[in-house]
A and B are shown apart, each in its own frame.
Chain A
Amino acid sequence: MKKTFKIINLECAHCAAKMEHAIRKLDGVSHVSISFLLQKATIEADDTRFDEIAAKAADICKKIEPDCLFTER
């Protein structure tokens, strides 16, 4: 399944890169791309575990940039 998420308040480009790298390492994720410019993330992952993966991705973002919000589009 492929879904796009909005990352509100993403102000640090380096953080975006770190988030992308960390999410890519999650089990079940086949493709992830975060755009600092558009403030959005596209994640392609296992259908069955997608919600779980999305929640983990949100956690990662919170950890790296506490100000920002990871939401569904």
Chain B
Amino acid sequence: MTKKQKKSLVRILSGCVLFLLALLFPGEHPLLFLVPYSIIAWDIPLRAVGNILRGQLFDENFLMTAASIGAFGSGQYHEAAAVMSLYQIGELFQDIAVANGRRSIAALMDIRPDFANVLQDGQIIRTDPSQVDEGDMITVTPGERIPLDGVVTEGSSALDTAALTGESEPRDVFPGDEVLSGCINLSGVLHIRVLRTFDQSTVCRILELVEDSISRKAKSERFITKFARYYTPAVVCAAGVLAILPPLLGLGTFSNWLQRSLVFLVVSCPCALVISVPLSFFSGIGRASREGILIKGSNYLEALAKTGIVVFDKTGTLTKGIFQVSRICPVSMKEEELLVLAAAAEQLSTHPISRSIRDAAPCELPPATQVKELPGQGVRAVVTGMQVLAGSETLLAGAGISCPHVSGTVVHVGLDGSYCGYILLADQLKPTSARAVEALKQSGIRRTVMLTGDAAPPAEHTARQLGLDEFHAQLLPGDKVTRLEHLLREKKPGEQLLFVGDGINDAPVLARADIGVAMGALGSDAAIEAADIVLMDDDPAKLITALSIARKTMTTVRQNIIFALGVKFLVLALAAAGFSSMWLAVFADVGVSILAIVNASRQ
């Protein structure tokens, strides 16, 4: 509790004690209750007057003051004091609840590092991360959070990337690897050369993104604000009418109806909704970012819950985007022999295909001499005294070797003038893609679609493997947008269309979709810029998590709205019919508010 809150508590408690004493005193002397009333509630009428002078008429202070004056006026002194104490207690709890809500969200987002250990002339100087420059050297010991983005120069360790990606499995890093701020160093001391200053670091950009997401308000939030603007004056007017009309029509005493209209006044405050709805959304966004899902606005969280169609890009999204050895087809030797031969010839090349072949081969490769790389065609080398050619059909044809025609990404291998076979490379599905698609379908996604620039046969194969509802292949970037527009026209009313892509070449499609989700690949700027939601670890299964957080948030929002409005209208109805008391009124105002806030902070 803050100092201010503690002071309030003391005031309330002392007021309550005096109130209880006053109750025990025989007789109902107004002054007896005026004392505790003043202690507990002196600031409220004061603020009411102040606000009226500033042109703010119908605020809570004025309403509560009017309510208690009314109670005093009709001779119910202890009721006035009791209600005020209850109100103040309620306000205090509401304050605490809001502060707790804010704190729990801040804790969810607590990835900001407080210091950096800068290495200068052999000395370690503890510095404010914002004072560290690009190119400076810092050290991070096990247990510490990496304060800035950089490259490891010395040391190896395992990192906990949960703060950025939600991944609990540690990631090994070695000299030369790039590491990002926010990760926790687990095992070894690391020396890191800083790549980006603090305000450009990943941690700061994520925090900024989440804070900015508040300004993109969801439809529900805007509705609540608009509703509140009409609700309060409407209820206050109703209170006025209720106090004046029925007595005039002879339906009861003035003081009786005044009592009821006072309840109206107290219930006219919309705080429960105005606080709890934005809190729910902020909770949801904070929770998502903990899972490595960056949502750039509450409106996207809201739209996510209504997703009915999910459209995937293929390469880089459902597949890893790296070509790996998928089939080895030798003519007369063993598979491994062919692989070793090709890998040996390719061992000095930096081409991605060469790397894939080397990765698939055993570590011990025979040395290659007279290596000549022919760009666009392949590699020529001498391995264990034999002339090896590894590359395209054209390469081998040039040496007089004919190859069978194989479609796809293929490396043909020729040995001393004769053909010895080919190695087929293919893009691999991400390990979680199949699970992601299945879970999406199970959770109620109506249509799953894949768009790709790939040829139809591999596209169909992938679509079938993953269980996608439909796919469209051989699409040029412009075609993708057209196809997406087509799908948008086929939406059911209220349904949202989500597109998942890897950002770099999917920008127009991401922009056109209702919700654009990009594979963030730890630090890919273009993706983060273009999309509405970024999956920090490129895992399509995170879509499920995002969807469930979105749905849970919307459920909480709906619960709170129905609960708050339901209770308020019920109490208003009861009050109008004469079955209420001030206690009920205060519950309908402050009690509901607290419950709604607590519900909203749960995530």
Q: Does B505 contact A (CB under 8 A)?
A: no
Residue A37 contacts which of B60, B101, B269 (CB distance < 8 angstroms)?
B101
- Beyond A37-B275, A66-B54, 4 additional contacts (C-beta under 8 Å) are A12-B60, A33-B215, A33-B216, A37-B101
Instruction: For the complex formed, measure the closest distance between the CB of A7 and the CB atoms of chain B, giving whole angstroms.
Output: 13
Query: A37 and B214 in contact (CB under 8 A), knowing A17-B228, A63-B55, A66-B54?
Result: yes
Q: Is the CB of A17 within 8 A of B215?
A: no
Residue B278 contacts which of A14, A21, A36, A66 (CB distance < 8 angstroms)?
A36
Enumerate chain A residues within 8 angstroms of B95, measured Cβ to Cβ. 11
Secondary structure at the A interface, as helix, strand, loop or mixed, is mixed
Of A11, A20, A31, A40, the most chain B CB neighbours within 10 A belong to A11
Enumerate chain A residues within 8 angstroms of B225, measured Cβ to Cβ. 17, 20-21
Enumerate chain B residues within 8 angstroms of A1, measured Cβ to Cβ. none
Q: Is the CB of B275 within 8 A of A33?
A: no
Render A31-44 as a binary contact track against B, CB cut-off 8 A, 1 for contact: 10101111010100
Enumerate chain B residues within 8 angstroms of A20, measured Cβ to Cβ. 225
Q: Is the CB of A38 within 8 A of B211?
A: yes
Residue A35 contacts which of B50, B59, B271, B278 (CB distance < 8 angstroms)?
B278
Residue A33 contacts which of B51, B60, B217, B271 (CB distance < 8 angstroms)?
B217
Enumerate chain B residues within 8 angstroms of A42, measured Cβ to Cβ. 212, 215
Q: Is the CB of B214 within 8 A of A14?
A: no
Render B516-540 as a binary contact track against A, CB cut-off 8 A, 1 for contact: 0000000000000000000000000
Q: Is the CB of B274 within 8 A of A13?
A: yes
Residue B269 contacts which of A14, A31, A33, A40 (CB distance < 8 angstroms)?
A14
B195-217 CB contacts (< 8 Å) to partner A: 211-212, 214-217
Q: Does B56 contact A (CB under 8 A)?
A: yes
Kindly report which residue of chain B lies nearest to residue A17, judged by CB atoms: B225
In the assembled complex, the Cα of A35 lies from the Cα of B98 at a distance in Å of 13
Render A1-38 as a binary contact track against B, CB cut-off 8 A, 1 for contact: 00000000001111111001100000000010101111
Q: Is the CB of A14 within 8 A of B271?
A: yes
In the assembled complex, the Cα of A22 lies from the Cα of B270 at a distance in Å of 18
Kindly report which residue of chain A lies nearest to residue B272, judged by CB atoms: A13
Number of interface residues of B (CB under 8 A): 30
List, sorted by A's number, 10 A–B pairs whose CB atoms are closer than 8 Å.
A12-B60, A12-B271, A14-B271, A16-B274, A33-B214, A35-B282, A36-B275, A37-B275, A37-B279, A63-B55
Q: Does B102 contact A (CB under 8 A)?
A: yes
Enumerate chain A residues within 8 angstroms of B102, measured Cβ to Cβ. 37-38
Instruction: For the complex formed, measure the closest distance between the CB of B214 and the CB atoms of chain A, giving whole angstroms.
Output: 4
Please report A residues at the B interface, Cβ cutoff 8 Å.
Answer: 11-17, 20-21, 31, 33, 35-38, 40, 42, 63-64, 66
Q: Does B229 contact A (CB under 8 A)?
A: yes
Q: How many A-B residue pairs have CB under 8 A?
A: 60
Instruction: For the complex formed, measure the closest distance between the CB of A17 and the CB atoms of chain B, giving whole angstroms.
Output: 5
Q: Is the CB of A13 within 8 A of B55?
A: no
Enumerate chain B residues within 8 angstroms of A16, measured Cβ to Cβ. 274
Query: A38 and B56 in contact (CB under 8 A), knowing A14-B274, A20-B225, A21-B229?
Result: no
In the assembled complex, the Cα of A63 lies from the Cα of B279 at a distance in Å of 25
Kindly report which residue of chain A lies nearest to residue B276, judged by CB atoms: A13
Enumerate chain B residues within 8 angstroms of A15, measured Cβ to Cβ. 59
Q: Is the CB of A37 within 8 A of B215?
A: no
Render B536-566 as a binary contact track against A, CB cut-off 8 A, 1 for contact: 0000000000000000000000000000000
Render B244-277 as a binary contact track against A, CB cut-off 8 A, 1 for contact: 0000000000000000000000000111001100
Q: Is the CB of B215 within 8 A of A63?
A: no
Residue B215 contacts which of A12, A14, A35 (CB distance < 8 angstroms)?
A35
Q: Does B105 contact A (CB under 8 A)?
A: yes
In the assembled complex, the Cα of A72 lies from the Cα of B105 at a distance in Å of 23
Q: Is the CB of A17 within 8 A of B279?
A: no
In the assembled complex, the Cα of A66 lies from the Cα of B51 at a distance in Å of 8
Instruction: For the complex formed, measure the closest distance between the CB of B136 and the CB atoms of chain A, giving whole angstroms.
Output: 26
In the assembled complex, the Cα of A64 lies from the Cα of B55 at a distance in Å of 9
Q: Is the CB of B274 within 8 A of A36?
A: yes
Enumerate chain A residues within 8 angstroms of B98, measured Cβ to Cβ. 11, 37
Instruction: For the complex formed, measure the closest distance between the CB of B428 and the CB atoms of chain A, giving whole angstroms.
Output: 43
